[in-house]
Structure 1
Amino acid sequence: MIVPITPLRPEECVPDPDAGLGTLRTERGNLPLESLDVTAEVTGLIAAVEVTQGFHNPYDLPLEATYIFPLPPRAAVTAFRMEADDRVIEGLLKERGQARADYDRAIAEGKRAAIAEEDRPDVFSIRVGNIVPGEKVRVRLTLSQPLPYEDGAATFRFPLVVAPRYIPGTPLDDAPAGPGVEPDTDAVPDASRISPPVLLPGFPNPVRLSLAVNVDPAGLDLREMRSSLHVVSIDGTNVSLQPGERLDRDFILRLTFETSTALAMVPDDEDAASGEGTFALTVMPPAGEAVRTPRDVVLVLDRSGSMGGWKMVAARRAAARIVDTLTADDRFAVLSFDTVVEHPEHLPEGLVAATDRNRYRAVEHLARLDARGGTEMLSPIERALGLLTDGERERVLVLVTDGQVGNEDQILERTGARLAQVRVHTVGIDRAVNAGFLGRLAGLGAGRCELVESEDRLDEAMEHIHRRIGAPLVTDLSLKADGFELVPDTVTRAGSLFSGVPLSVFGRYRAANGAAAATLTVRGLAAGGQPWEREVTGAASGNPAVRAVWARARLRTLEDRYAMGDRTLEETIVATSLKYGVLCRFTAFVAIDTKVVAEGGPQHRVVQPVEPPSGWDAPAAGGGQIGFGAQAMAASFAPAAPAPFAAPAGAPEGFAGAPPQSPVLRRPPAPGPRPGRGFTAPARPVPHAFESVRPQLVAELERLRAAEALPDPALAGYLADLGSRLAVLAGHLGGHQELADLARDLVAAERPGADPRGLWRRALTLLTHLTGGDTRPPGVLGTHLQPRDAGGRSTRAFWKRP
Structure 2
Amino acid sequence: MTVPITPLRPEECRPVPDAGLGALETEKGNLPLESVDVAAHVTGLVAGVEVVQTFRNAFDVSLEATYVFPLPPRAAVTAFRMEADDRVVDGVLKERGQARADYDQALAEGRRAAIAEEDRPDVFTIRVGNVVPGERVVIRLTLSQPLPYEDGAAEFRFPLVVAPRYIPGAPLPGPAAGGGVAPDTDAVPDASRITPPVLLPGFPYPVRLSLATTIDPAGLGLREVRSSLHEVGREGDTIRLRPGERLDRDFILRLAFDASSSLALVPDDAADTGSPGAGPADGSGPAEGRAKDTAEGTAEGVAKDATGSEGTFVLTLLPPQEDATRTASRDVVLLLDRSGSMTGWKMVAARRAAARIVDTLTRHDRFAVLSFDSVVERAFSGGLVDASDRNRYRAVEHLSRLDARGGTEMLAPLQEALRLLDGQDAPAPGAATGTDSGRFREDDDRPGESGLSREQARDRVLVLVTDGQVGNEDEILERIGARLHGIRVHTVGIDRAVNAGFLGRLALLGSGRCELVESEDRLDAAMEHIHRRIGSPLVTDVALKAEGMDLVADTVTHAGSLYPGVPLVVSGRYRGQRPAGALTVQGRTADGRPWEERIEGRPAHGPAARAVWARAHLRGLEDRYATGDHSLEQRIVDTSLRFGVLCRFTAFVAVDTRVTGEGGPAHRVIQPVEPPSGWEMPTAMPLMAAGAPMMAKMATFTTTGPPPGSAADRPVAAAPPPGAPPAPPFAAAPAPAPRRAARGFSIGRFLPHTGEGTAQVTDFDGIRPLLAEELTKLGQAESLPERERRRYLADLASRLRVVDQMVGGHPDLTVLAADLERAEWAEVSLDELWQRTTDLLTTLTGGSASAGSTSPASPGSTSPGSTSPASPSSTSPGSASGAEKGRRPFWKRS
Q: TM-score range by the shorter chain?
A: 0.7 to 0.9
Contact 1:110-1:597 at 8 Å conserved across structures: yes
DSSP-derived class of the 1:332 partner: strand
Structure 1 Cα separation of the partners of residues 38 and 22 of structure 2:
29
Residue in structure 2 matched with residue 183 of structure 1 by the alignment: 183
DSSP-derived class of the 2:625 partner: helix
Deviations 1:451-491 (A, max 9, x none): 00001111111211221211111111111100001100001
1:324 aligned residue (354, 359, 365):
359
Question: Structure 1 pair 598/382, CA: closer, same or farther in 2 (3 Å)?
Answer: same
Residue in structure 1 matched with residue 173 of structure 2 by the alignment: 173
Residue in structure 2 matched with residue 277 of structure 1 by the alignment: 311
Structure 2 Cα separation of the partners of residues 640 and 134 of structure 1:
33
| Equivalent AA in structure 1 for residue 700 of structure 2 | I
| Equivalent AA in structure 2 for residue 617 of structure 1 | E
For residue 637 of structure 1, report the CA deviation from its aligned partner. Answer: 6.9
Structure 1 Cα separation of the partners of residues 9 and 173 of structure 2:
54
DSSP-derived class of the 2:399 partner: helix
Structure 1 Cα separation of the partners of residues 383 and 231 of structure 2:
46
For residue 612 of structure 1, report the CA deviation from its aligned partner. Answer: 0.5
Deviations 1:643-676 (A, max 9, x none): 9xxxxxxxxxxxxxxxxxxxxxx95269xx9995
Structure 2 Cα separation of the partners of residues 677 and 111 of structure 1:
53
2:494 aligned residue (392, 409, 429):
429
Alignment of 1:110-509 (within 5 A): 110-269=110-269, 274-289=308-323, 291-344=326-379, 347-389=380-422, 390-509=455-574
Contact 1:374-1:631 at 8 Å conserved across structures: no
Residue in structure 2 matched with residue 510 of structure 1 by the alignment: 575
Contact 1:170-1:674 at 8 Å conserved across structures: no
| Equivalent AA in structure 1 for residue 312 of structure 2 | T
Structure 2 Cα separation of the partners of residues 669 and 357 of structure 1:
41
Structure 2 Cα separation of the partners of residues 75 and 149 of structure 1:
16
Structure 1 Cα separation of the partners of residues 9 and 720 of structure 2:
32
DSSP-derived class of the 2:601 partner: strand
1:554 aligned onto 2:622: no
Residue in structure 1 matched with residue 701 of structure 2 by the alignment: 627
For residue 202 of structure 1, report the CA deviation from its aligned partner. Answer: 1.3
Deviations 1:112-137 (A, max 9, x none): 00000000000000000000000000
Residue in structure 2 matched with residue 699 of structure 1 by the alignment: none
Structure 2 Cα separation of the partners of residues 350 and 309 of structure 1:
31
| Equivalent AA in structure 2 for residue 534 of structure 1 | E
For residue 628 of structure 1, report the CA deviation from its aligned partner. Answer: 8.7
| Equivalent AA in structure 2 for residue 527 of structure 1 | A
Question: Structure 1 pair 667/229, CA: closer, same or farther in 2 (3 Å)?
Answer: farther
Structure 2 Cα separation of the partners of residues 296 and 338 of structure 1:
23
Question: Structure 1 pair 89/641, CA: closer, same or farther in 2 (3 Å)?
Answer: farther
More divergent stretch after superposition (414-423 vs 66-75): 414-423
Residue in structure 2 matched with residue 779 of structure 1 by the alignment: none
| Equivalent AA in structure 1 for residue 321 of structure 2 | A
Structure 2 Cα separation of the partners of residues 4 and 311 of structure 1:
36
2:644 aligned residue (572, 581, 591):
581
Please tell me the root mean square deviation across aligned C-alpha atoms, in Å: 2.6
Contact 1:473-1:499 at 8 Å conserved across structures: yes
Structure 1 Cα separation of the partners of residues 336 and 622 of structure 2:
27
Structure 2 Cα separation of the partners of residues 631 and 190 of structure 1:
25
Residue in structure 1 matched with residue 49 of structure 2 by the alignment: 49
Q: Which runs of 5+ in 1 are unaligned?
A: 644-665, 679-802
DSSP-derived class of the 2:456 partner: coil
Residue in structure 2 matched with residue 668 of structure 1 by the alignment: 727
* TM-score with structure 1 setting the length: 0.77
Residue in structure 1 matched with residue 668 of structure 2 by the alignment: 605
Deviations 1:566-623 (A, max 9, x none): 0100100000000000000000000000001021220000000000101111104488
1:63 aligned onto 2:73: no
DSSP-derived class of the 2:222 partner: coil
DSSP-derived class of the 2:221 partner: coil
For residue 174 of structure 1, report the CA deviation from its aligned partner. Answer: 3.0
Residue in structure 2 matched with residue 785 of structure 1 by the alignment: none
DSSP-derived class of the 1:529 partner: coil
Question: Structure 1 pair 674/620, CA: closer, same or farther in 2 (3 Å)?
Answer: closer
Structure 1 segments of 4+ aligned residues over 6 angstroms from their partners: 3-10, 270-273, 622-625, 628-634
Contact 1:34-1:208 at 8 Å conserved across structures: yes
Structure 2 Cα separation of the partners of residues 627 and 588 of structure 1:
34
Deviations 1:721-750 (A, max 9, x none): xxxxxxxxxxxxxxxxxxxxxxxxxxxxxx
Identity of aligned residues (%): 70
Question: Structure 1 pair 406/677, CA: closer, same or farther in 2 (3 Å)?
Answer: farther
For residue 20 of structure 1, report the CA deviation from its aligned partner. Answer: 2.3
Deviations 1:404-460 (A, max 9, x none): 000100011110011232001100000000000111111111111110000111111
Residue in structure 2 matched with residue 533 of structure 1 by the alignment: 596
Question: Structure 1 pair 61/625, CA: closer, same or farther in 2 (3 Å)?
Answer: closer
Contact 1:212-1:240 at 8 Å conserved across structures: yes
| Equivalent AA in structure 1 for residue 626 of structure 2 | A
DSSP-derived class of the 2:418 partner: helix
Structure 1 Cα separation of the partners of residues 136 and 629 of structure 2:
44
Deviations 1:259-279 (A, max 9, x none): 110111110127797410001
Contact 2:330-2:459 at 8 Å conserved across structures: yes
For residue 220 of structure 1, report the CA deviation from its aligned partner. Answer: 2.0
Structure 2 Cα separation of the partners of residues 19 and 314 of structure 1:
31
| Equivalent AA in structure 2 for residue 365 of structure 1 | H
For residue 257 of structure 1, report the CA deviation from its aligned partner. Answer: 1.1
For residue 634 of structure 1, report the CA deviation from its aligned partner. Answer: 6.2
Contact 1:39-1:213 at 8 Å conserved across structures: yes
Structure 2 Cα separation of the partners of residues 639 and 420 of structure 1:
46
| Equivalent AA in structure 2 for residue 323 of structure 1 | V
Residue in structure 2 matched with residue 30 of structure 1 by the alignment: 30
DSSP-derived class of the 1:460 partner: helix
Deviations 1:177-233 (A, max 9, x none): 111110111110100100000011111142000000000133021111111100000
DSSP-derived class of the 1:528 partner: coil
How many residues were matched structurally? Answer: 645
Contact 2:328-2:535 at 8 Å conserved across structures: no
Structure 2 Cα separation of the partners of residues 677 and 470 of structure 1:
36
Question: Structure 1 pair 6/605, CA: closer, same or farther in 2 (3 Å)?
Answer: closer
Structure 1 Cα separation of the partners of residues 193 and 558 of structure 2:
31
For residue 9 of structure 1, report the CA deviation from its aligned partner. Answer: 10
DSSP-derived class of the 1:257 partner: strand
Contact 1:164-1:628 at 8 Å conserved across structures: no
Question: Structure 1 pair 483/6, CA: closer, same or farther in 2 (3 Å)?
Answer: closer
For residue 236 of structure 1, report the CA deviation from its aligned partner. Answer: 2.3
